[in-house]
Structure 1
Amino acid sequence: MGRPSKYPAEFRAEAVRLVLTTDKSMAEVGRDLGISDKTLGAWVRKEREKQTLDALPGALSEHERLELKRLRKEVSDLKVEREILRKAAAYFAKEMTR
């Protein structure tokens, strides 16, 4: 996981809204708010991707996407744990036959 953002979520959302709803350029909005236009551009790009995903038929909500990501990580961790336990069981079974 990355480092925590130094900008509150409300500030980021408002900055993105200004870019998307006003006729100001991203650089102008960034200068007005005192942030890099690259940082602002990343926020805008992320919001546009989110809007695109939300517009697809049968699309998952942001909450559902986060839950799916969490569950996939959990499944991956459980597979690793299962493999470790399988190897440990094989090792101890071999030791018992000696």
Structure 2
Amino acid sequence: MKYPAVFEAEAVKHVTERGHGLVDVAKRLGMSDKSLYLWVLLAKEESSTGGAESSLLKAEVSGLKAELKRADGERDILNTAAT
């Protein structure tokens, strides 16, 4: 299953910044602890190379694109209804 980048970033934050246990976070989110472990590992590698900020920016851009797509769809529906 492919998770949104924002979801991935928040799950990693729970483990790395808030100090929650990896297995506990995975269970609460209903996902594989192996997947979360991989995400945490990749995030640590990115932070050591300075890529953590770009990863968060990518997650934010992804979320904003999804929100824009939803808003465009709503606008199209309203335009259709108005004509």
TM-score bracket for the superposition, by shorter chain length: 0.5 to 0.7
Larger radius of gyration: 1
Number of residue equivalences: 54
- Provide the TM-score with structure 2 as the length reference: 0.57
Tell me which residue corresponds to 1:10.
6
Unaligned stretches of 5+ in structure 1?
63-98
Structure 1 runs (4+) greater than 2 angstroms displaced: none
Higher relative contact order (CA 8 A, sep 6+): 2
Counterpart residue type for residue 44 of structure 1: V
Give the Cα–Cα distance (whole angstroms) in 1 for the partners of residues 45 and 26 of structure 2. 20
In structure 2, the partner of 1:39 is: 35
What is the CA–CA distance in structure 2 between the aligned matches of 1:30 and 1:21, rounded to whole Å? 15
Unaligned runs of 5+ in 2: 55-83
Q: Distance in 2 between matches of 1:23 and 1:16?
A: 10
What TM-score comes out, normalization by structure 1 length? 0.49
Q: Distance in 2 between matches of 1:41 and 1:49?
A: 12
Q: How many percent of aligned residue pairs carry the same amino acid? A: 38
From the two aligned structures, give the one with the greater helix fraction: 2
